Structure 1
Amino acid sequence: GVAGEVYVGGQGLAWGYLNRPELTAERFVPHPFASTPGERLYRTGDQARWREDGTIDFLGRVDFQVKVRGFRIELGEVEAALRSATGVNEAIVVARGADADKRLIGYVTAREGHPLDADTLKAGLKQRLPEYMVPSAVVVLDALPLNANGKVDRKALPEPDAHAVEARDFVAPRDALEMQLARIWEDVLGVRSVGVRSSFFELGGHSLLAVRMVAAVRERLGQSIPLSVLFQQPTIEQLAQVLRDDSQDWTPLVPLERGEPGQRPLFLVHPGGGNVL
């Protein structure tokens, strides 16, 4: 039942890769449990687990594991959750961006007669997966791009268009402050044409980018706001209103969930001198 990498051995094992000694040394490794010296095992790169009846349950590729903001994620697990959604035919999940800005992008195709809505798919994933495993964007395609071998060409998958994501409810900046905030968001998030009612986090933002955005507001606008404000006011429209209100007292408290009146509250307190991160 424990997941691990599959190694293959025995008399049928190949000698190695032709004229590729480095790859041979990487993939053909000494057999740690061999009864005779010189035996080797081949690292398949497949992740699997034994079942009680002795069969092997294939779980995915080891090289499809990614690390996003400190969390190790098996892309196949996210893909399986997407495929289980109503109307989804195929699903592929990739990680894009540099280490600090890496984010998950999901690509799906629809079954015939089942139109798909990206927002609905993301909402469904949030019910089944922890937040760090939910893709920042889900792109609905007519078909997944294939390479010459008939496998999905992950490099040919298109970049998500943030402008298309928010096009339905797009509201352009209406004054100088909203325009300045929009420019900051575009620089920090690497997107274009940010609407004032788009959520920072739905556009691909996360806690590390939020720190960068708050720092940019301080440097360009000369105003300091605590990070907690962004979690509670995640749109440019809301943030601009907060910056205009000089009388507001800042609080480091971030409500994760508002309970029913009369219930005992739970407070998670950061270390002295720290913040919500």
Structure 2
Amino acid sequence: MTLIHGYGPTEATVDAAFYVLDSERDRDRLRIPIGKPVPGARLYVLDPNLAVQPAGVAGELYIAGGGLARGYLNRPELTEERFLADPFYPGERMYKTGDLARWLPNGNIEFLGRLDDQVKIRGYRIEPGEIEAALRSIKGVREAAVTVRADGGEAELCAYAEGLGRNEVRARLERLLPGYMIPAHII
């Protein structure tokens, strides 16, 4: 049986890289590499000035190639921020993933984490800071914080809000955010 680990955000048609696992080689690994680019995709690990990072040096992962999305629907500012001109292929674009990665000596890429606070819960990418901003916009909420709790099971959002009761906060938050961004716990 062959097990393949796939990597890729929606902005790059979901599959941008793959890694074929080997039970002997990968038995003691703490991290499974995201692998090498799929055909037609290009992966770059770049520093903040868009210079290529050598093998072993961490940088932000960028994706380019035929599977790249045009941008975000009705979100021109976000499209401009995340879809940049590809400095290595004039006239083409690349996607700034927000993922921290590094090239391994064998040509695979290793995912090291996120450069922002984005989390993935039940398949949705969520920025806790966006929920905190929504909470703070509610009249009567003086302070707010959002965190992710796993407690041995599936990850859940937990919000801490000062100034109003939890039921009032939840009702107002439900008018501001989609359901998947409403914290499971409001304290």
TM-score range, shorter chain: 0.3 to 0.5
TM-score (norm 2): 0.41
TM-score (norm 1): 0.29
Q: Which structure has more strand as a fraction of its residues?
A: 2
Max Rg structure: 1
